[in-house]
Amino acid sequence: MSDLLEARNVSRAFGGLHVTRDVNFKLAAGDRVALIGPNGAGKTTLVNLITGDIAPSEGQFFMEGDEITGLSIPERVRRGLVRTFQTTRLFANLTVADNVALAIMQRKRISRRLFSSATELPEVRAEWSEILGNLGLDAHAYRKVVELAYGQQRLIELAIGLALHPKVLLLDEPAAGVPHDEAPRILAAINRLPADIAVLMIEHDMDLVFKFARRVLVLAAGRLIFEGSPDEVTANQDVRRAYLGSYADARRTA
């Protein structure tokens, strides 16, 4: 079976500045992979390359064996490549249900002219009800997004991602801005994602990373300098120098 996502020799330069250099990795169904690295390592640029926000200077991306390098963002989403962002991009004055219904409408190609009634269409309502129930948001379905705490808004972003039926889900700092004591709710929601989705998560909260990831990619100065298990990554001297430092020592002695 083909890998769900493959990056092959991907590089990106802005003028003479190489931000991403010869990156190679694969994601298979069920993967839970964390992408970590210091600020300025090129993590967001790499995600932007994967999703089609920017084009690589060199290299290719593949989904299930088909090249997607030249596809637009909507075309990649239709193939099952879905992203959430560092900051919420929700319709704050619409309800939680409306926000998720819009994603369902996008996937089903239901005209937005029908939006006033589409949220309650039986097939649409059944879908957003199930998604919100799985994420513990069903009690808030008819509340406006602006009324909810930021941690709950991050869960809505995840709900929208699921409504697009991803095969590969890119989580760009899902716990960013969330109070530390609410981060376990984000992790619990991620752990309840369908087992066949490949998840790539960028995150600076190392506790969250090591509870989530089965495999870790480490990016430094635009290059992938390491790929391995969480235990292997804390023992790697290059990674310790580039990023983890004292955190690796604390984790290995805990």
Q: Parse the chain into domains and list their residue ranges.
A: 5-90+165-253
3-state secondary structure of 212: helix
pLDDT by residue for the chain (254 residues), tens digit each? 469 999 999 999 988 888 999 999 999 999 999 999 888 889 999 999 999 999 999 999 999 999 999 999 999 999 999 998 766 779 999 999 999 999 998 898 877 666 667 888 888 999 999 999 999 999 999 999 999 998 899 999 999 999 999 999 999 888 888 888 778 888 898 998 999 999 999 988 888 888 999 999 999 989 999 999 988 888 888 787 777 654 445 455 45
| Residues 97-136 as b or e (16 or more Cβ within 10 Å = b) | bbbbbbbbbbeeebeeeeeeebbebeebbebbeebbebbe
Per-residue pLDDT at 250: 47
Per-residue pLDDT at 64: 96
Q: How many whole angstroms separate alpha carbon 142 and alpha carbon 252? A: 46
Per-residue pLDDT at 97: 95
Q: Phi/psi at 200 (nearest 5 deg)? A: -115, 120
Give me the CATH topology for the region 5-90+165-253.
Answer: Rossmann fold (3.40.50)
| Residues 38-76 as b or e (16 or more Cβ within 10 Å = b) | beebbbbbbbbbbbbeeebeebebbbbeeebeebeeeeb
pTM of the shown model = 0.88
